[in-house]
């Protein structure tokens, strides 16, 4: 229970369907319990919603797991010149890891969340992760790394509905937080951005050189860790044509620039592979980032590495991001991108 519209309506729908429902809110950095009072707007709003719905509210401290499994890897990947997606690790290790373990210890049957995704049960009872009905809100990309066994005890009440329907229900039922705006930010990153966050964590960010593919200087940048593959480069003075970041070398503090066609890749290699089906087809579709349109590809797994070859070259295949595989509506699995090539 974040107190937001999605988790609140998910709890409401389950209660109206006859489930016995309780709410869990995860305490993370910046949230504390003192003298029995909880200081954090999100937690206070979650308490208010649970009171409104007439359900119990529990708190679970996830700071240690968040730090070790999400934040530290996030920082390390930036040190390595990658562009991490911490929400994937948060789902895997925190929401569908620590929280799943906690509810099992307390004797609850299922974990329900406000994610926009669906689960289909096969005849043998094993779950199949599927896209949400609302393509514009589908969050299955962020769930591909969740352990398949964990999904047997999960419910996604919002998977068959649109965000418009969910927000309308919140207003009609007069949920206290019905008008709360949707957050798109990484929960542990402060308002002044990830650059400031990395600096606070001891990561050195210093000005360096923009260079072309051959290593010739082209100008100065603010710090290589502040740039990602595909980002438009803005140089002082007059330059012919647009330039884009094609790679980052944090050891030498260099940012390599090229033309848009230099961003194209025919294939990629991924590690940390998680497959959610028994048999992976040779051909399927892949997304190389959350907002990416799925594209046709061939796949192969060897030595715990996933190789994806696209039918058509894709732009800005970014190390640190995740490639997620789909077969129609079914989520096959995915992995973390570590390399790409032509």
- Which amino acids are annotated catalytic? 90, 187
Alpha-carbon dihedral 151, 189, 318, 224, rounded to 10 degrees: -160
Task: List the beta bridge partners of residue 257.
Answer: 245
The token pair that represents 14 in the structure block: 């389950």
The answer to whether 265 touches 314, Cβ cutoff 8 Å, is: yes
The C-alpha atoms of residue 60 and residue 102 are separated, in whole angstroms, by 8
The C-alpha atoms of residue 339 and residue 270 are separated, in whole angstroms, by 7
The C-alpha atoms of residue 270 and residue 337 are separated, in whole angstroms, by 4
* Residue that has been written with the tokens 């068959």 in this structure: 160
The C-alpha atoms of residue 2 and residue 57 are separated, in whole angstroms, by 11
Residues of 256-284 as b/e, b for ≥16 C-beta within 10 angstroms?
bbeeeebbbbbbbbbebbbbbbeebeeeb
Phi and psi at 329, nearest 5°, equal -90, -10
**How many Cβ atoms from other residues are within 10 Å of residue 94's Cβ?**
19
Task: List the beta bridge partners of residue 56.
Answer: 22
The C-alpha atoms of residue 49 and residue 3 are separated, in whole angstroms, by 6
What H or E segment, with its residue span, contains residue 253? none
* Residue that has been written with the tokens 């966050």 in this structure: 197
């Amino acid at each position: 229970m974040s107190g937001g519209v999605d988790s609140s309506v998910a709890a409401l729908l389950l209660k109206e369907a006859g489930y016995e429902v309780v709410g869990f809110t995860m305490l993370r950095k910046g949230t504390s319990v003192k003298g029995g009072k909880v200081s954090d707007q999100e937690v206070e709003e979650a308490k208010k919603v649970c009171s409104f719905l007439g359900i119990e509210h529990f708190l679970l401290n996830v700071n240690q797991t968040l730090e070790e499994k999400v934040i530290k890897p996030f920082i390390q990947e930036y040190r390595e010149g990658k562009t991490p997606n911490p929400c994937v690790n948060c789902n895997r290790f925190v929401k569908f890891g620590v929280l799943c373990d906690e509810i099992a210890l307390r004797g609850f049957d299922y974990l329900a969340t406000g994610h926009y995704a669906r689960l289909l049960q096969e005849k043998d009872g094993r779950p199949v992760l599927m896209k949400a009905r609302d393509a514009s809100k589908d969050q299955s990309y962020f769930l591909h790394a969740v352990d398949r066994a964990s999904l047997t005890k999960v419910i996604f009440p919002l998977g068959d509905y649109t965000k418009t329907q969910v927000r309308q229900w919140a207003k009609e039922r007069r949920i206290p937080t019905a008008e709360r705006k949707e957050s798109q930010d990484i929960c542990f990153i402060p308002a002044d951005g990830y650059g400031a966050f990395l600096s606070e964590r001891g990561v050195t960010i210093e000005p360096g050189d923009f260079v072309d593919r051959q290593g010739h200087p082209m100008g100065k940048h603010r710090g290589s860790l502040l740039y990602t593959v595909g980002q438009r480069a803005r140089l002082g003075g007059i330059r012919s044509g647009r330039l884009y970041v094609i790679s980052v070398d944090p050891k030498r503090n260099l940012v390599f620039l090229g033309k848009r066609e230099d961003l194209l890749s025919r294939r990629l290699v991924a590690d940390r592979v998680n497959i959610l089906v028994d048999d992976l087809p040779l051909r399927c579709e892949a997304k190389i980032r959350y907002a990416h349109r799925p594209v046709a590809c061939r796949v192969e797994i060897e030595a715990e590495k996933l190789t994806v070859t696209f039918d058509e070259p894709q732009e800005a295949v970014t190390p640190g991001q995740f490639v997620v595989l789909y077969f129609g509506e079914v989520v096959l699995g995915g992995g973390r991108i570590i390399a790409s090539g032509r």
